Amino acid sequence: MSMFDNISVVKKANVYFDGKCVSHTVQFPDGTRKSVGVILPSTLTFNTGAPEIMEGVAGSCRVRLAGETEWKTYHAGESFDVPANSSFDIEVMGDPYHYVCHFG
């Protein structure tokens, strides 16, 4: 599905790492929040508060979760889980990586 329907969107974007990552927050009727975003070519480290599921929408990325040595590649349609109060390294090369971030 290429769209989320019947939601609210926060007009102001979330800008991280000088714009290497930009997302917009969307809110569902049940109060659940997700973000739709894009990561430009770069290698970044994100910290999590709540657990996250990162779902690829377009492009691909390589990810290394905290405490792991192996990088894994994820394409559009694939997801990876990040535990609460953790972090992950993400590398995007070539085309931007578009994602949906599910919290909770």
Q: What is the DSSP letter of 85?
A: T
79 binds its own copies (CB under 8 A): no
Q: State the nearest-atom distance from the C-beta of 37 to its own copies, in Å.
A: 7
Residue count (the chain): 104
10 binds its own copies (CB under 8 A): yes
Contact 54, 89 (CB under 8 A): no
Q: State the nearest-atom distance from the C-beta of 16 to its own copies, in Å.
A: 11
Cβ-based neighbours of 27, under 8 Å, separated by 6 or more? 7, 8, 9, 10, 33
18 binds its own copies (CB under 8 A): yes
Residues at the contact surface with its own copies, assessed by CB under 8 A: 1-13, 15, 18-20, 22, 24, 26-27, 36-38, 40, 57-58, 96, 98, 100
